[in-house]
Amino acid sequence: MKKLSSVVCLLAILLVVLPGPLYKWQLIELGTAFTGIRYGVFAAMAGAVLLVIQAGFFRKQTNWAVFGVSCVFAAVAIVMPLSIMNKAKSVPPIHDISTDVITPPEFIAIAPLRADAPNPVEYAGAETAAQQLKAYPELATLNYKENTKHVIRVSIDTVKSLGWELVNADVDQGIIEATDTTTWFGFKDDVVIRVVAHGDSSALDIRSKSRVGKSDLGKNAERINQFITLLNKELTAK
């Protein structure tokens, strides 16, 4: 029993954790990765049942150190996917977020990189805009007293500080394009930043869009807020 429960719990954590890197390294398809995670949850539940039986009827034969590790494996394999599911339910099923939903910044240099992406480069449209405004009302055009060239240069530094891959930076045109790659699955999300002059001041808009998936689990809005927070800090410092 103790060997069976340990093996099942180990299998469960592997089925939940490994699909992300395997998809990232292009060894499996996305559908296969999600199937693996689903079976991992089932295996973790089975492992948890076996652990309860082991603790109740086979206490004398139990190696409690191994038992503890198995409990952790089962818990992680259940909690991690369920937390993702809960997150998905708490945010709108959209993947294109912009501080300007009327005339969102357009991808130019990044457009060819998204040629084979399931999500097209064009803005997702009015329905997405309505859902975004309801879920993320704080996201709006940012106005700064600094001139455009200063804002764009600090924005470039901010992009680099966040570890995004800089694809295009045109100070004169006030455009920055970059790609952020997620850690677990290696999903590539693209960002475009537009800075325009309003007299001696500047207006900045930023858009973040996923290449894959109907829902971004709130990641694009989170990324934009992260950029804004760091940019404001850098502009204050400089």
Question: Which residues 6+ apart lie within 8 Å of 139 measured at CB?
Answer: 97, 98, 99, 132, 221, 224, 225
Q: What is the pLDDT of residue 238?
A: 65
- Long-range (24+ apart) CB contacts under 8 A made by 31-34 are 33/185
Beta bridge partners of 179: 165, 190
Residue type, 35: T
Domain ranges of the chain: 2-90, 96-237
- Cα pseudo-dihedral 61, 65, 66, 68, rounded to 10: 110
Both tokens of 75, joined, read: 């818990």
Residue type, 237: A
Q: Which residue reads 């492992």 in tokens?
A: 47
Grade residue 56 by pLDDT with cuts at 50, 70 and 90.
Answer: confident
More confident residue, 56 or 108: 108
Q: What is the pLDDT of residue 237?
A: 81
Q: Are 194 and 99 in contact (CB under 8 A)?
A: no
Q: What is the pLDDT of residue 134?
A: 97
Grade residue 2 by pLDDT with cuts at 50, 70 and 90.
Answer: low
Convert the pLDDT of each residue in 173-221 to its tens digit: 999 999 999 999 999 999 999 999 988 899 999 999 999 999 999 999 9
In the chain, pLDDT over 90 holds for what percent of residues?
90
Question: Which residues 6+ apart lie within 8 Å of 221 measured at CB?
Answer: 91, 97, 132, 135, 136, 139, 208
Task: Count CA within 13 A, CB hemisphere, residue 113.
Answer: 20
* Range of weakest confidence among 28-32, 61-65, 135-139, 171-175: 61-65
- What integer is the mean pLDDT of 76-85? 96
Whether residue 44 is predicted with pLDDT greater than 70 in this model: the reply is yes
Question: Which residues 6+ apart lie within 8 Å of 103 measured at CB?
Answer: none
Residue type, 56: G
**Topology of 96-237 in CATH?**
Alpha-D-Glucose-1,6-Bisphosphate; Chain A, domain 4 (3.30.530)
